[in-house]
Structure 1
Amino acid sequence: MKIRMKLFGGFFIVFAIGIILAAVGFISTDKLTLLSEDILGLSETRSSVSSILISHYIWRHGLSETVYSGTAFTGSLDSNTCSLGKWLNSDDVKNVKDPQSVELLNKVIEPHAFIHSKAGEIINLLSNGQTGEATRIFREEVLPKTQEVITGLTQIDGRYGEVINTEIHQIYDSGEYFQRMLIIFSIAAFIASVVLALIITSGIMKPIISISGTFKAVGEGDLTARTNITSKDEMRDFSDTFNVAMEKIRNLMANIGKEAESLQSIGNTLASNMTQTAAAVNQITTNIQSIKSRVINQSASVSQTHATMEQLVGNISKLNEHISDQGNSLSQASSAIEEMVANINSVTQTLVNNAGNVQTLQEASEVGRSGLQEVSADIQEIARESEGLLEINSVMENISSQTNLLSMNAAIEAAHAGEAGKGFAVVAAEIRKLAESSSEQSKTIGTVLKKIKSSIDKITSSTTNVLNKFEAIDSSIKTVAMQEENIRNAMEEQGVGSKQILEGISNVNRITREVDESSDAMHQGAKEVIQESANLEKSTQEITSGMNEMASGTHQINDAVAQVNGASSKNRDAIDSLIKEVSRFKVA
């Protein structure tokens, strides 16, 4: 397998492990999201149940007011159109899967339909003037069934609370489970990556270590050393190529050894040649050196002038580049500022639109606050009326007490009358029973009225808090409107400043173009000067070249004898050194 394929395979495995970890994270997130959505739905349903429970307390109180006080009944008489009936027929209830919740809902349906049916019957009796029968049905039939409905709704609300707590614990358990899974997969991925890295590096380093040992042997002079790589990858190809090259080098060193021995014999014949021609060219060499020094001085002056002009042209070229860069930078800055001006205009328009939206929101807040104030006034009026009911109930208790006392006096008088007072005693007993029943009902009504008054007091307090919140919201909306106006004014001022900057950049662009044109003219003139300087330098170089050729000829003649005399000695020393170096290599 190729090294590239090994690395690619390792990267692919690491990538696959990363995909698995990402999948685990995605699944855990999706699961927790579904559970959170379930909890949100259950919370909304529980809120609906609480609202329905409150509405039935109000419904019972309204019917009680109608029966005992003769006020008009404004509640619903149809079990399907009241808040509970609508909720029971909604999709939220139809989709309930919890068996206990379904059982509690089924228990509420029958008494709920019953109380609405009886409420219609009570209204009809009251309209016909049958107040006693209406009161009896309300006390003996409607109130117990209404209490069953309220108790059932309370149990349903509690059951939804239990289901929500169960869902929350399930979210915690799922989060811990997925956290453990991620830790396990991460540890496994780390171990797999380490093992894979060890396998890949071992497969790569083993042939490299083998080749390194062979290089060490070659460095010590053993040209017969060879590598032996058996893996089928790039290292095997490198090993084969290296072995072929070393074989060629070994053959070359063997041939060099043979040729060095031949050169040694030739060098020994050069010691007896060329000892005479040096004196004839000494005068010619002196005259040529004098002329050559003058030409060299002239050439140096011309070269210095040419170099100065080239430096000048280089500086002008750099100036042109800087001017071009400056033009590009100004163009980019101009585009950026134009875009900023457009963005400022867009932001300003958005702020104008926001001002209208804030005004609309402020008006809506004022309407909501006024409506809530009216509701608060109505609730306070109801609270005052409920206090009147408590006073009426107190009077009823007093009447019941007096009636009971009267029945006791009548019973005493009947006892005194003897046989003639038996009929009066029966009437006194009935009066006593009626007084006791009235006292019990009065106590029950008093308890209910106290609970209603407590609920109305809580509602009044909550309404006051909401009114305070509305006033805070109204104040915040006014603050936001003021800040929006300040931001819009600042953005308009910034837009004017940006336009002035654009005008300034346009002027700088025009000046930059003029400077660029002048710089181009200077650059062209400098090129012409350099051309003439180059022609002069060329002529000087030609003269210098001729003098160098003459001096070289004389030097060659003058040095020929010395070179030939030393050739034999140097050649012999070089050949001896070559033979010594070649003998260090092992070629067989």
Structure 2
Amino acid sequence: MKSLRLRITFVFSIIVLLSGTFLSYRVYTSSVNLISLSLGEQAKSIAESALRQIEIEKYQEITPEKGETEYYKELRQKLNQIREANNLKYLYTMQERRKDNGSEYIFIVDGMPLETKEGDFSPIGTVEENVDSMQLAAFSEGVTKIGALTEDDPYGALVSAYVPIKNASGAQIGIIGADFDASSVYDLMKENKRNTILMIAVILLISVIITYIFSRMIVSPVLRLTREVQKVQEGELRQWDGVVRKDEIGRLSEAFRKMVAVLREMILEVQSSVQDLRQSARVHAESTEASNVMSQRITAYLGQAAEAAENQVKCSEETVRTIGEVETEIQRVAASLSIAADAANEVTVAARNGNEFVQQAVHQMSSIQASGLEMAKDIQHLADQSSRVSQITLAIREISAQTHLLSLNAAIEAARAGEHGQGFAVVADQIRKLAAQSEESAVRISELIESILGSTDRVVRGVEAETKEIDLGRAIVEKAGGAFAQIVNEVQKVAGQVQEVSAVSQQIAAGAEQVLASADETDRLTRLTSEQFQGISKASEEQLAALQQISSSMEQLNRMSERLEHLISKFSL
């Protein structure tokens, strides 16, 4: 039985049936015992009263062998009177007779009328075939016994009492039995039994009906609650008014209604949260995608900046090498000017010594002319190298401007990247400072180069003037020795110019050393910038990988939110 209503009806019916049966059985047995005890006590009293009517000595003379004596007939009449007076069915005496194979119990005096036909009473010596247990107990124990209400075919319904008959010495010589006719009582008990069974049936039917109604009162709201639970199981969470009762079922229904309401609010909140989560995930994914694109652009810019830094390193190395060559050339010019100064001094001494050294002076002038030509070549070469240095300085300034532009772009991209670009912004600021320092060094180099170029130009003009003067002096020396004084004067001028050129050359050499130091510093800073750009590029690649991982996580989060929305969509709110 899967129905709770049928189970309740069945269980309560069984309980009522068992209770009614047990109660009826107890009432019936109690009634039987009460009747048996009441009638048995009356039979006992009658038997004891009849026993007092028996003369024991005469009674002992009554035997089956002697037959019906006068006292037998007298005693039979007395017992019949007592039987009829007390409405007994049977009143009799019995005796135990020993035999080889046991004992038998025979009737002595049957208290029936003398005119009773044979067959309607038990003559003297008749053996009792149906000896009940109370009779046997009375014979064996020698005490009064009261039997239960019995019914059998020969005698009908009876309640018996058995009183021992004892002689003067106290020996038991038999028993006297008194049987009440309990037919009417027995019929009444049967009637009561039938009435009891009918009453139990009616009570059972009424109990089944009441139980069914009561179970329906219990089960109906439970069934309604079960249907609502099934609806909740199917995902329907609509508002439910519940079962209006004040008992446990009503409290259960109210608790279930509140649970559904709380669950509905939770599902609505989860649904709203899932939508917000999905929107946030979408926005985050878009931001991550934008950051990914920006990181790619930053990585590309950093690659270009790293490449430009490498080119700048190469240019710096070329600048250092060129400045080294300029320094060498300037040292050579200084050495040549020193030689020219020495030669001018010697010419002056030779001019002062006299005309005899004119030929030697002519020869010396030739040497001076050759030296002047070579010095002119060297100075021209120095001018060319200075021009190249100017070009290199211009390239350095262009690289510095490009680096400054790249650092500005990097700072802008770092500001766009937000928190992730703070470290990159610091590096971009350092790069900008390095670019500013490079540009400042390039400006200083340019100023030195312009100074060198100015000095070189003056030297060139002086050398050209010196060459002209040497040519004129040589012509004058060849034409006339008398112009020696003029030559001496000119040589003195040349010596002064050479000394000035030597001083300028020394200044140029010192400037070249400073330019070389600046170029070394620029090279070091350029290398440091290149290393920083490489580190930034690597960090940007790592940041790009992290952003890609975040993008993958956002996609997974989006899938999770979609799955959660699919689960929530099963509920009807």
Q: Whose strand proportion is higher, 1 or 2?
A: 2
Q: Whose helix proportion is higher, 1 or 2?
A: 1
**Considering the TM-score relative to the shorter chain, is it more than 0.5?**
no
When normalised by structure 2's length, the TM-score is: 0.32
Higher-Rg structure is: 2
When normalised by structure 1's length, the TM-score is: 0.32
Higher relative contact order (CA 8 A, sep 6+): 1
